[in-house]
């Protein structure tokens, strides 16, 4: 009887362990949901807290009301990582700002006028800020496009991605009459079409200018971090932003359409947006 009871207990323990492992795998699979760049959502309730971190004990940065629109960076489990709306209060130490611009790299933007408050973004050297007021040794600024917070995913309705534009209507061309010829030309073999893959991507890496840009399909490139003193190229970058020099040598997240031809060794990303990764 004791042996039978022990076997029952052992079987129950194994079943419970399997269930916990399955739940863990499901939770891990749902930890992060990629979203297209520029995704937006609408707040469903009043007085919804936006926090400095993705947990219920983190500092409250601001509150949003029903109907407010937010730009979503990513979806992680029960939380949405969002760009801080313009109404958020952000603070920078006055010793790192002069004439409305950061005087150092990686300057912390905090959610309160003290180092006890969590950072919600960073400033690159020379980056301009919009000053709201001076508060002792701290300056209140309007949030930059890199300032982010966290909001409960169940409190936001994520908008469906916009439908792609319809293809252009075919244009009609006048009929061309070819005069007859005595000898038909030899049939020509159709040129082999090069295989090209195009898709929207989000890539992390080190941003830097291409040393030999004359022979490259883009003036910039996205590289891996150093592995045994060596770096490896992820993709070439094409961008219309003239102020990308501030990203040189920094860890960034790039959003845009990637084109990869079969004959090319590396893809080319037409950059739509660049975010710093801290």
Q: Rounded CA gap, 272 and 241, in Å?
A: 9
**143 with 244, same domain?**
no
Listed residues 93, 128, 158: the one ending a domain: 158
pLDDT-based confidence at residue 265 (cuts at 50, 70, 90): confident
Is residue 27 scored above 50 in pLDDT?
no
Is residue 188 scored above 60 in pLDDT?
no
Name the pTM for this structure: 0.50
pLDDT-based confidence at residue 225 (cuts at 50, 70, 90): confident
Please, what is the average pLDDT of the chain?
82
167 within domain boundaries: no
CB 258 within 8 A of CB 200: yes
Domain that holds residue 136: 40-158
**114 with 213, same domain?**
no
180 within domain boundaries: no
Is residue 254 scored above 80 in pLDDT?
yes
164 within domain boundaries: no
34 within domain boundaries: no
pLDDT-based confidence at residue 182 (cuts at 50, 70, 90): low
Least-confidence region, from 61-70, 149-158, 170-179: 170-179
Q: For 42-71, what is each residue's pLDDT tens digit?
A: 999 999 999 999 999 999 999 999 999 999
Q: 151: buried, middle or exposed (CB in 10 Å: 19+, 13-18, 0-12)?
A: buried
**211 with 258, same domain?**
yes
**152 with 220, same domain?**
no
Residues 6-31 have a mean pLDDT of 47
6 within domain boundaries: no
Q: For 123-142, what is each residue's pLDDT tens digit?
A: 999 999 999 999 999 999 99
**212 with 153, same domain?**
no
Residues 152-170 have a mean pLDDT of 81
177 within domain boundaries: no
247 within domain boundaries: yes
Q: Rounded CA gap, 196 and 260, in Å?
A: 6
Count: domains in the chain: 2
CB 31 within 8 A of CB 47: no
Position 190 scores a pLDDT of 56
**150 with 44, same domain?**
yes
Position 241 scores a pLDDT of 83
Listed residues 158, 186, 217: the one ending a domain: 158
Listed residues 98, 129, 158: the one ending a domain: 158
202 within domain boundaries: yes
Instruction: Read off the CATH number of the domain in which 232 is found.
Output: 2.40.50
Position 95 scores a pLDDT of 93
């Amino acid at each position: 009887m004791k042996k039978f009871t022990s076997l029952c207990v052992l079987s129950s323990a194994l079943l419970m362990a399997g269930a916990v492992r399955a739940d863990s795998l499901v939770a891990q699979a749902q930890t992060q949901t990629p979203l297209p760049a520029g995704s937006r959502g609408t707040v469903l309730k009043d007085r919804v807290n936006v926090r400095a971190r993705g947990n219920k004990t983190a500092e409250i940065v601001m509150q949003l009301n029903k109907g407010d629109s937010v730009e979503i960076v990513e979806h992680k489990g029960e939380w949405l990582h969002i760009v801080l709306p313009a109404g958020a209060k952000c603070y920078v130490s006055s010793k790192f700002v002069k004439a409305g611009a950061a005087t150092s790299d990686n300057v912390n933007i905090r959610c309160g006028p003290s180092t006890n408050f969590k950072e919600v973004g960073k400033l690159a050297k020379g980056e301009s800020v919009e000053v709201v007021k001076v508060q002792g040794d701290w300056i209140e600024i309007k949030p930059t496009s890199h300032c982010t917070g966290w909001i409960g995913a169940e409190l936001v309705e994520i908008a469906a991605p916009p439908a792609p534009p319809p293809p252009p209507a075919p244009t009609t061309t006048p009929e061309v009459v070819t005069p007859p010829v005595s000898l038909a030309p030899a049939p020509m073999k159709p040129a082999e079409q090069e295989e090209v893959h195009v898709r929207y991507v989000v890539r992390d890496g080190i941003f830097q200018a291409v040393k030999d840009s004359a022979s490259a399909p883009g003036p910039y490139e996205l590289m891996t971090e150093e592995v045994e003193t060596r770096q490896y190229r992820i993709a070439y970058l094409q961008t219309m932003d003239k102020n990308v020099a501030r990203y040189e040598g920094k860890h960034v997240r790039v959003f845009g359409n990637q084109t990869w031809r079969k004959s090319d060794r590396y893809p080319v990303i037409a950059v739509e947006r660049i975010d710093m990764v801290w």
